[in-house]
Structure 1
Amino acid sequence: MELFFYIIIILLIVFAGLLNWQLRHNSVDLTPLAARLSALQDAQERTDRAVREEIANFRAEIQNQSHQERAELAASLTSFGDSVGTRMAEIAGLQRSQLEGFAAQLSLLTATNEQKMDAVRLVIDEKLKQIQEDNTRQLDRMRETVDEKLQGTLEKRLGESFKQVSERLELVHQGLGDMRNLAAGVGDLKKVLTNIKTRGTWGEVQLGALLAEILAPEQYEKNVRIAEHSGETVEFAIKLPGQGEQSGDHVLIPVDAKFPVEDYSRLLEAQENADAGAADEAARFLEARIKKEAKNIFGKYISPPRTTDFGIMYLPSEGLYAEVIRRSALVQILQREYHVVISGPSTFAAFLNSLQMGFRSLAIAKQSGEVWKVLGEVKNELDKFGLTLDAVRKKLEQATNSMDDVQKKSRTLQRKLRSVQVLPGSSPEALPDDKAPLESDDNS
């Protein structure tokens, strides 16, 4: 409707513009046109009134419809509110009744729990009282037992302690006696070390102990005369195996013990006093003494082929051996000019151990023929053992075949006996003839 109104207005404006343009360019009679225009204006006014009336009616209709909808909505909301209120009241009543029931049940449960707790408390109190009484009785018994055991243990320990103290006092008394004997022995040792003859004897005893500990008695000799025309005898000689088995076929290693303790003591005293001059002088005396003893060994005891082309000078003190061996020039002179090797207790023991291993290797080499003979006998026995194993294998194969036959016959009998019904109240194991077929098969 409004669109139609706007179209009419636009047409009127266009028509007025055309009329104005025509009036400017031509002078015509406008009376018919004015009449038409007047009629058109009247029609326009009627149209406007009609449009306004339609708009007013439309607005009134819309207002009425909105009033109706608001009234219906208000009525619906009122009805919904009433229903919701009613439902809420019902729910509240239901919850109230449920809460009251729950409160009643809770009160009943609380009362029941209190009663049960009272009963449990009474039972627990009674049990605790019984446990306390039992614990008291057991503690009294344990206390009595512990007192008895402690008393017995204390008496036993005190008796043992007094016994140990008595034994220790006896040992202390014996130790004091041993200390007195040791003091006497130290005095004797001092006498030995200050006497040339006894010093030599002590070195010989130590050397003999080493030889007896490591070598067998037949592997060395004592006080051996090297040359028949000479009366000189070496203290010890180690026997090296020769080409034959007789005693004369052995080659001897002469070993002589030397202990120049005076020169060594002077050297130690000078070194302790930090006296360089006295130390050098004592060292020269010690070297001269060692050379002299090596010369004696070379002249008296080294006689090839009866002996080896070298001898061993045994020094019974590790300190003296270290003092001599650290002078490399002296050691080279002894080996080159006098064919003498210096040895101390530790090095001589190692030398004897190496000789012992050599002796064992040589013995094994000599007995290799017997070993081969034993191996041949073992080989023959192994051949016989192989034949015996073959016979046993054949017997086992025969036994296996017999067992296979027995199993086949047993399966055949089981297949035949499957159709046989077992009597009520009896078991197959109780039948006396169950194993008879198997025994007959085995016998066959």
Structure 2
Amino acid sequence: MELIALILGALALLLGFVAFIILNKKISMPQDRSGELQPFENKLREEIQRLRTDLSSLESETRRELSESLSRQNQSNSKENRENREELAKSLASMSETIAKLTENLNEETRKNREESNTSLTKLSQQINTDAGKNREELTTALNNLSESQSRKMQDLATNLQTNFEELRKTMEGRLEKIQETNEKKLEQMRKTVDEKLHDTLEKRLSASFKQVSERLEQVHKGLGEMQTLASGVGDLKKVLSNVSNRGMMGEIQLEAILEQMLNPDQYERNYRPSKTGDQVVEFAIRLPGRDDDGSCVYLPVDSKFPLASYNTLLDAQEEADTVKIDNARKELRNSILNSARDIHNKYIKPPATTDFALLFLPLEGLYAEVLRDSSIFEEITRKYKVTVVGPTTISALLNSLQMGFRTLAIQKRSSEVWKTLGAIKTDFGKFGEVLTKTQKKLEEASKTIELASHRSRQITKKLNKVQELPVEETAEILELEALEEDDF
């Protein structure tokens, strides 16, 4: 406890000394220097605050340790006190006298120490004042010297900076002037180059444009001639199509071209007579295989119709956007298609020589689309007259389906032949297995013979190893003699 008290007293004395120095400096220092020493004072204050914090933490730690030590000491002394209580009671009387004497001596010693402490504190205070005055004078002198040195350095630095800035400004101005002159020269060169290239490019493009214009004019002139030729051709085609028989021939030619492309020549027939007793001849009839295997055929009639007049009337009415004319033209086209279907039904559908339905071919897709647009026409023709209306695209798909059916039927007819061929192959394969077995036996016999010959060859080699070898010259002579003898034979 006495040691802790001494430590705390020393720290308090140190704090008081520092505070005293700061106070004296603030009092004795001029007003203009107080601002310069303000950072030093702040640092001192922070250091004092830190010391106080450390002192408080040290005090708390010391108190905690003392309390723990006292508690442990109390626990250990409780037993000893009980044991020594009687001895202490006996010793108290003698100790009381000793304590009284010690108290008197302690009081006297304390008085002397107090007087000595007062004297020491007085001397210490005087010494502190003296040292503080000296330190204040030394600090003032050092600060003055530092201020003068800093002022001189700042002036020198300002002079150097001004000189460097002046030199840098002159250098930059010179470089900027050179860059400006160089840029002006390059810009002038670029302007001349651009003008030359622009002039050349304009001349080239103008000449190319004039050339293209002249070529286009020539092409337009040629196109006008071709248009005139095409107009005359269209006029000729219109004259051809104005004749009913010519239109029918065009439909037949188109239908024949499709049939030739999709079917084989033996799969359809031209100008087929469905009835042996009648004179009616259908343009084309597709040959379908019969149900029996006797090679009989059933024919599917295909007739081409081209009601161009009714269709042109409808197109003209649609261009005029006249609903009355459009309805009348559609009725006319409907009647024409129905009449054609009726003729096909009455003339060409003759079961069992033909199928119970026929095909009505329309050469134009637009005409076919117009018929399909009115679903009642298509349904009535199919239901009442057993006639199916087809166009160039749909008849191609239909013929493709028929072609696939023909191939399937041919495969079915040839399946028996394929089965017989497979049976013959199976028989031949059995014979081949027998021959292969015999060959395997022969190979095994040959292998055994080769193995026996190899075994004998090894035995002969072992016996020959025991025979002494002849010199090379004698061997050559003997071999030559044997060769001559073989040649004689």
TM-score by length of 2: 0.47
1:171 matches 2:219: yes
**1:161 to partner: Cα distance:** 0.8
- Structure 2 unaligned spans of 5+: 1-113, 423-489
Cα 1:88–1:242, aligned 2, differ >3 Å: closer, same or farther? Answer: farther
Match of 1:45 in 2: none
Aligned-pair CA distance for 1:132: 3.6
Question: Partners of 1:239 and 1:250 in 2: how far apart?
Answer: 6
Task: Give distance in 2, aligned partners of 1:150 and 1:361.
Answer: 74
Distance 1:219 1:116 in 2: 111
1:342 pairs, out of 389, 398, 407, with: 389
The aligned counterpart of 1:310 is 357
Structure with the larger helix share: 2
Equivalent residue letter for 2:359: I
Query: How many aligned positions are there?
Result: 299
Q: Partner residue of 1:112?
A: 160
Partner of 2:324: 275
Residues in 1 aligned to 2:414 and 2:134: alpha-carbon distance in whole angstroms: 126
Partner of 1:91: 139
Instruction: Say if 1:222 and 1:234, in contact at 8 Å, map to a contact too.
Output: no
Aligned mates of 1:88, 1:359 — CA distance in 2 = 130
Partner-residue secondary structure (3-state), 1:312: strand
Contact conserved, 2:358 with 2:388, CA < 8 A, in 1? yes
Counterpart residue type for residue 274 of structure 1: T
Task: Please give the residue correspondences for 1:123-202 in structure 2 after superposition, counting only pairs within 5 Å.
Answer: 123-202=171-250
Amino acid at match of 2:367: L
Counterparts of 2:122 and 2:381, CA distance in 1? 142
Q: Tell me, which stretches of 5 or more residues in structure 1 are unaligned?
A: 1-64, 374-444
Distance change (3 Å), C-alpha of 1:122 and 1:267:
closer
Q: Which residue of structure 1 aligns with residue 344 of structure 2? A: 297
2:333 is the alignment partner of 1:257:
no
Deviates more, 1:295-304 or 1:174-183: 295-304
Cα shift at 1:333? 4.0
Q: 1:273 and 1:125, CA in 2 relative to 1: closer, same or farther beyond 3 A?
A: closer
Rounded to whole Å, the distance in 2 between the matches of 1:169 and 1:201 is 41
Q: Structure 1 260/93 Cα, relative in aligned 2: closer, same or farther at 3 Å?
A: same
Assess, with a 3 A threshold, how the Cα gap between structure 1 residues 264 and 136 changes in structure 2: closer, same or farther.
closer
- Do structure 1's residue 331 and structure 2's residue 378 form an aligned pair? yes
Q: How far apart are 1:157 and its partner, in Å? A: 1.4
State how far apart, in whole Å, the 2-side matches of 1:145 and 1:310 are.
84
The answer on whether the counterparts of 1:297 and 1:311 sit within 8 Å (CA) in structure 2 is yes
User: What's the CA shift for 1:341?
Assistant: 0.5
Once residues 414 and 190 of structure 2 are traced to their aligned partners in structure 1, the CA distance between those partners, rounded to angstroms, is: 75
Whole-Å separation in 2 of the counterparts to 1:237 and 1:94: 133
Rounded Cα–Cα distance in structure 2 between residues aligned with 1:219 and 1:139: 86
Q: Give the Å deviation of 1:98.
A: 1.9
State the TM-score, normalized to the length of structure 1.
Answer: 0.51
Deviation of 1:260 (Å)? 1.8
Q: 1:255 is matched by which residue type in structure 2?
A: V
Distance 2:341 2:142 in 1: 131
Mapping for residues 173-252 of structure 1, pairs under 5 Å? 173-207=221-255, 215=262, 223-226=270-273, 234-237=282-285
Whole-Å separation in 2 of the counterparts to 1:116 and 1:137: 32
